[in-house]
Amino acid sequence: MVSTERARRSLLWATVAAFFLAVNASFVEDLDDSFKENRKNDIWLVDFYAPWCGHCKKLEPVWNEVGKEMKTIGSPVKVGKMDATSYSSIASEFGVRGYPTIKLLKGDLAYNYRGSRTKDDIIEFANRVAGPVIRPLPSQQMFEHVQKRHRVLFVYVGGESPLKEKYIEVASELIVYTYFFSASEEVLPEYVTLPEMPAVLVFKDGIYFAYDEYEDGDLSSWINRERFQGYLNVDGFTLYELGDTGKLVAIAVIDDKKFSAEHTRLKSIIQEVAKDYRDHFHRNFQFGHMDGNEYINSLLMDDLKIPTVVVLNTSNQQYFLPHKPIENSEDMVQFINEILEGTVEAQGGDGILQRIKRIIYDAKSTVGSVFKSSPLLGCFLFGLPLGVISIMCYGICTADTDGGAGEAEPLMEETAGRELTDEGTEGTDEGTEEEQEGMNEEATELADEEATELAGGEPEQKTILEKKKD
């Protein structure tokens, strides 16, 4: 009875779960080849997937939740998915090169999503890109509301100008990462002082900074550098994104699960330097911390013991390690200044030797991870090819040996034949000599008999004829 009741409950829960999955899936449209012509009047958020892709299967329930949420909030963005292997021509037209690929299609523009594959991040991306490129802030209340909602925001202040045209152009490209606003000078908070008009400002970390063309260079590069907060919780994806900024990344590698004084102290030192020395280092450095050393070890091909401090150059894969323990913020500032002065030796890099080392390291890591997760699968994947190669090598070596023996046998036969021929030739020569001697004797006897005949006598002639007959 108890087992029957449990089975009924399990069946009930499975039915409920299947029902909710089916309901959520109904908010996501399956797209086919007609999508190319029908999409232009709408804004679409599309997941290009492959049925065999494991990451695509992992994204599927999240994608169903995204579709449901977008429908619930009344978003104008439609959510769909397309099997890129069945409709490869359409996927290629949109530049799909891997799975899953998330794109927001808006008119003739296609925006790639490069953030974390979570429901909230995907929805935030869709709402940001689907809206206007530049959002106006008509009042101080609206400005304060937006500032509370966004950790980083860029604001153009002023009227029509070449700077505004450039700002709109850059915003059209970088809206996939952050928000862009425009406002009049009256809307700005009282603490904001503009060096000149028009101006582009970035608000983050509770303060603001103005763009200076002479010091900061190109507007697009400046926005790309400043779109991050001063201090970050760094992971692999964040490091990839920071590679476009050209900044060095100073991070404390710690274990967030360990609340030891050493881990907490290093994290606090980095936070303090990021805040108090921002004016000195913000153009060249990004600060943060990373939880665990697994990713950083694979990146550096080294075994860093935590807690520690490392400075990464993501553009050329070089890194710097302090030559002495970092005890306080002064030690960290000194370490950063030594890097800027070039007195700290850079390790790693992207040279030929490092690339070869990377290939070997990745191969070892892959083999090790396979054997660690599934020893039987590892034996099958790597043992089977090695076995086949061994059999092939053995067959080749055996074939060479047999071939050599086969060639030797005809050679031996030929040599023996030659010896036999030589012996036969010798025998023939001996027989010829004997016959020649016999013929010479006969000729001598005939000559003698003819001489006797001439001397006279018939009987001798008869004797000669008998001998001839004989």
Vertex 28, ends 22 and 29: CA angle to 5°?
A: 115
What phi-psi label fits residue 205: left (phi over 0), alpha (psi between -120 and 50 degrees) or beta? left
> Which of 325, 320, 372 has the alpha carbon at shortest distance from 346?
320
Cis, bond preceding 198 (omega within 30 deg of 0):
yes
What phi-psi label fits residue 23: left (phi over 0), alpha (psi between -120 and 50 degrees) or beta? alpha
CB 250 within 8 A of CB 212: no
Q: At 260, phi and psi to the nearest 5?
A: -80, 160
DSSP string covering 119-141? HHHHHHHHHHHHS-SSEE--SHH
The conformation of residue 190, written as its DSSP 8-state character, comes to T
> What's CA 143's distance to the chain center, in Å?
42
Q: Which two tokens stand for residue 245?
A: 């900024």
* Residue 199, beta-bridge partner list: 157
Please identify which of the residues 56, 379, 393, 397 carries the catalytic annotation. 56
* Residue 157, beta-bridge partner list: 183, 199
CB 248 within 8 A of CB 288: no
Give the three-class secondary structure for 100: coil
Give the three-class secondary structure for 289: strand
Q: Which two tokens stand for residue 276?
A: 């108090």
Q: Which two tokens stand for residue 267?
A: 């994290």
Q: Assess whether 393 carries a catalytic annotation.
A: no
CB 274 within 8 A of CB 287: yes
The alpha helices in 26-118, defined as continuous H runs, are 35-38, 54-72, 88-93
Angle between helices 219-226 and 162-174 (to 10 degrees): 50
CA distance linking residue 227 with residue 376, whole number of Å: 47
Q: Which two tokens stand for residue 350?
A: 């992207």
Cis, bond preceding 385 (omega within 30 deg of 0):
no
Q: Assess whether 56 carries a catalytic annotation.
A: yes
Strand ranges (E), 158-293: 179-183, 199-204, 207-210, 231-234, 248-254, 285-291
Active-site positions? 53, 56
